[in-house]
Amino acid sequence: MYADALQAIADHEVKIILTGVDLVRLQRRYGANHDHPHSITLTHLLERVDEVAKRDGELALIIADECEGQDDYRQDLRQYRASGTWGYKGRKITAVVDTMHFAASSASRLLQAVDLVAFLFHRIHINADSDARAKKANEQLWARVEPRVVHQRVWYP
């Protein structure tokens, strides 16, 4: 069933952008005063979505899984449009339209699809299985969606 779901994603003209942050290294480098990992990852994601959309002459609409801090994330996007994001790859967000929308993943097939891809990416690249059979199975699953990946990065502070 998982393979069929991933194939359904791969069969559509989608662009997959994956971002993450290593929580242990974030804590070690910045201590308790670091920004929330979700905020960091979302900022990196917005930068890459904007970059890819602009490169391809498209506009992007952001629909995210419901979470705490939704109003703060919407405010961040407004700020990023006005004066840009922070960091060494900071950029003014111009290709993301409207506001950031939040929905329950249980009510959205698109968000469920994102969850499937993110889970598998994490399983392969962050929390890798030691069992050779599981590793091989995950790699075969990943091979279905990998051609749709236009960017993937985990930040290791």
Model pLDDT, residue 51: 96
Task: Return the DSSP state at 135.
Answer: H
Domain assignment of residue 43, given as a range:
2-155
The structural domain count of the chain equals: 1
Contacts 24+ apart (CB under 8 A), 74-80: 74/99, 74/100, 76/39, 76/42, 76/43, 77/46, 80/43, 80/46
Model pLDDT, residue 87: 83
Model pLDDT, residue 32: 87
Model pLDDT, residue 130: 79
- Residue type, position 66, single letter: E
Model pLDDT, residue 47: 97
- Give me the residues of the chain with pLDDT under 70, please: none
In 3-state terms, the chain is what percent helix, strand and coil (to 5)? 55, 15, 25
Task: Return the DSSP state at 96.
Answer: E
Model pLDDT, residue 30: 93
Model pLDDT, residue 131: 83
The answer, as to whether pTM is greater than 0.85, is: yes
Q: Report the C-alpha gap between 54 and 60 in whole angstroms.
A: 9
